[in-house]
Chains A and B, each alone.
Chain A
Amino acid sequence: MSALLADWIERVPRRPTRSLTAARPSDPTSRWVRSYPEPRRWEAMDRSARTTAVARALGTLATAALVLPALTGCVSPAIDDAGYRGKAVHSVDQMLGIVNTARLAVRLDLRGRMIESVTDTVVSDAENDAQSVLSAFETVQPPSERMVLLRSTVDTPLQDAASNISDLRIAERRNERPGERKALGELAKSVAELQKLQARL
C-alpha cells in the first residue's frame, strides 16, 4: 500500500521550489518565516525512504484513528449517588427544554405563524427526544435505596411529560385544534411540575 502510494506520488509533476531569500528583511515575521526550514524534497529521497515516508504518514493517521476511540471509551458511567443525582437533574433540565420547544411550536401554529410541516417536524423531534431522555434515565441502575426513591420521584413527571408530548403530536397531526389546546394545557402542568422538581433537586 505504502509502496503503491509512493510510486503514485513519484509521478506527481514537480514545480521548481524557490527559496524565501527575497523576503522583506525589516519585518520580523518575514525573518521568522524565512528561517522556517525548507522541507526535505521528494526527489532527494531514494525509493525506500519514500516508502518509509508514506508509511509514516499513514501510520500517524492510523494511530490517531485508533487512539481517539480508545480514549472516548474510557469515560465511566455514573454509578455513585452524586452521579445518579446529576443524571436526574440533567434529565429534568432536558425534558423541560423539550416540552417548552413543543409548546412554543404549537402555540405559534395556533396563532397562524408556522408552516404546518415545520410544526409537525419540531413536535415529532420533541417526541423522539422525550422518549430518548426517558429511556436514558430509566436504564440507569440506581446505586442505593435513597436513589431508588429519587428515581420514583423523577420518573413519573418525566413519563407524564413524554406522554403529553405524544398526545400533542397526535392532535397536531390530526389537525384537531381543541385536542391541541387540551394537550397544551397538560403540558403546562408538566412544565410546572418539572420546574418544581428542578428547584428541589
Chain B
Amino acid sequence: MSRLLQLTLGVVTAIGGFVDIGNLVTSGITGARFGTSLTWAIVLGTLGMTIFAEMAGRVSAVGGRAVFHAVRERLGVRTALVNVIASGLLSLLTLAAELGGVSLVLQLATGINYIVWVPVVGLSTWLVVWRLPFSFLENVFGLLGLALIVFVIALFKLPTDWHVMWHGATHPSVPYGEGHPTYFFYAISLFGAAMVPYQLVFFSSGGREEKWNESSIGEMRLNSIVGLPLGGLLSIAIMWATVPVLQPLQVDVTHLGQVALPVAQALGVTGLALALLGFFAATFAAAAESALTMGYMVSQYFGRTWGKMHRPAQAPLFHLVCLVSVITATAFILTTVDPVTVTIVSVVLGAAAVPLTYFPVLVVANDREYMGEHVNKAVSNTFGVVFLIIMVVTSLATLPLLFITKAGQ
C-alpha cells in the first residue's frame, strides 16, 4: 500500500502535467484531424519526459538541487535570468490556460458561463497552493485524475477499427487535404505538451518537498517510469477515442466539450460524468502545479527559501510569487481571451523553450562531485543527448511553423 502511495507523485505529475488542458485539446484536435498518425509525437514526448524527469529527480534526490538551482549554476546569472523570465512568462501563460480550462469544465458541468467561474477557480487555486499540504495535492488529484481512464474504456466500446488505427499509428503519413507544415505544427504541439518545462521543475522541486534522498531513488524511478507513461497512455487514448467518432464527421475540435463526446457516445451519462471529473482533476492539478512552479523558479533562481513545506512567513518570496501569478493569470483569462487558443500558443512556445531548461539538468547529472555513484550512465547520456538534439531542432522549427500555418489553421 505504501508503495502505491509512493507512486502518486509521479501519477499527479503525469495527470496534471501530461494530461492538462494542453493535452486534452491537442490530443482531441489531432485525433479528429489526423487520425492516429501523430501518435508517434506523444510517444516521443513521453519518452523524452520520462528520461529527463528521472535525471532531474536523481539530481534532486542525490545532488540536492532542483532544476533552477542547476540552471543558475550552469548557465550563469545572465543567461539564467533570460531563462527564468522566459520560463516564467511561459508558465504564467500555462497557468492562465489551466485556470481557463478548469472554468470550461465547470461550465460543462453546470451550464454557467466559464467567465463567472474564473475568479472562483483562481481563488480556489491560490487557497490550495497556500493552505493545503503537498500530500493532499498529490493524493487527491492524482486519484481523481485517474477517472480519465474512461477514454481507454470508451475505445473498447466504440466501433474502433483496431487494424486501421494501429496501421495509422505505425505508418504515419500526412492525411489527404492536410499540408506537411500543419502536420508538423501539431506534432510539435503534442511534443511540447508532453515536455513543457513546468513539469520538470515541478517534478524535481516536488522531490525536494518530499525530502527525497539517495534512498528515495527507487521510489523516484517508479514515479517517473510508471506515472509519466500513464499520462502518455491517457493522451493517446484521448486522441484515439476521437478517431472513430469525430474524424468521419470532419469535426474540427475547438472546444473542450467536443473532446468529451466520444465518451458520451460509448458510455453514456456515467462515462461523461467521469470524463468531466477527470478533466477537472487534471486541469486543476496542473493549475496548482504551474502556480507552484512560478514560485519554485523565482525563489530557486534568487536562492531564497522555497516550498509548500514552509509557512508564508518563512518563504515570503515563494508565496508572494505564487499569489501574484494566480492573480495575473486570472486577470488575463478575465479579458475573455479564448482559453483554448492560449493553450495552443503556450504548448507551442513551450516546445521552443525546452532546451534551456533541460540542458543544465543533463550537465549536472554528469557531475560526479554532486552525483557520486549516481552520475549519469552511458545509456542516460545517449538518450539525453538524442532528445536534446530533437528539442533544439523542434525549438528552431516552432516559430516558422507557427507563422506559416497561422497557428495550425
A interface list, Cβ under 8 A from B: 5, 8-9, 12-15, 17-24, 27-30, 32-34, 36, 39-42, 53-54, 56-58, 60-61, 68, 71-72, 75, 90, 93-94, 96-98, 100-101, 104-105, 108, 112-118, 120-122, 125, 129
Cα A29 to Cα B376 in complex, Å, equals: 9
Cα A22 to Cα B249 in complex, Å, equals: 60
**Contact indicator B382/A29 (Cβ below 8 Å):** yes
**Contact indicator A114/B303 (Cβ below 8 Å):** no
Q: Given A20-B363, A41-B76, is A30 in contact with B254 using a C-beta cutoff of 8 Å?
A: no
- 24 inter-chain pairs at a CB distance below 8 angstroms, sorted by A residue, are A9-B77, A20-B363, A21-B369, A27-B366, A27-B376, A27-B377, A29-B376, A29-B382, A29-B384, A30-B375, A34-B366, A40-B78, A42-B77, A53-B78, A68-B399, A90-B409, A98-B252, A101-B249, A115-B108, A118-B108, A118-B264, A118-B276, A122-B255, A129-B254
**Contact indicator B403/A120 (Cβ below 8 Å):** no
**Contact indicator B269/A22 (Cβ below 8 Å):** no
**Contact indicator A75/B403 (Cβ below 8 Å):** yes
- Tell which of B67-75, B119-127, B158-166, B181-189 binds the partner: B67-75
B interface list, Cβ under 8 A from A: 69, 73-79, 81-82, 85-86, 107-111, 245, 249-252, 254-255, 257-258, 260-261, 264-265, 268-269, 272-273, 276, 301-303, 362-363, 366-370, 375-378, 381-382, 384-385, 399, 403, 406, 409
**Contact indicator A22/B367 (Cβ below 8 Å):** yes
Majority secondary structure of chain A interface residues (helix, strand, loop or mixed)? helix
Give A84 Cβ to nearest chain B Cβ, in Å.
Answer: 16
A residues within 8 A CB of B399? 68
Instruction: Closest A residue to B245 by CB, please name it.
Output: A104
Most chain-B CB neighbours within 10 Å: which of A8, A56, A57, A94?
A57
Please give 8 more A-B residue pairs, beta carbons under 8 A apart, in addition to A12-B301, A108-B261.
A9-B77, A18-B367, A27-B376, A27-B378, A101-B251, A104-B261, A104-B265, A118-B109
A residues within 8 A CB of B268? 112-113
Instruction: Closest A residue to B273 by CB, please name it.
Output: A115
Give B379 Cβ to nearest chain A Cβ, in Å.
Answer: 10
B residues within 8 A CB of A118? 108-109, 257, 260, 264, 272, 276
Tell which of B264, B369, B370 touches A113, judged by Cβ atoms closer than 8 Å. B264
**Contact indicator A114/B272 (Cβ below 8 Å):** yes
**Contact indicator A72/B375 (Cβ below 8 Å):** no
Cα A151 to Cα B207 in complex, Å, equals: 60
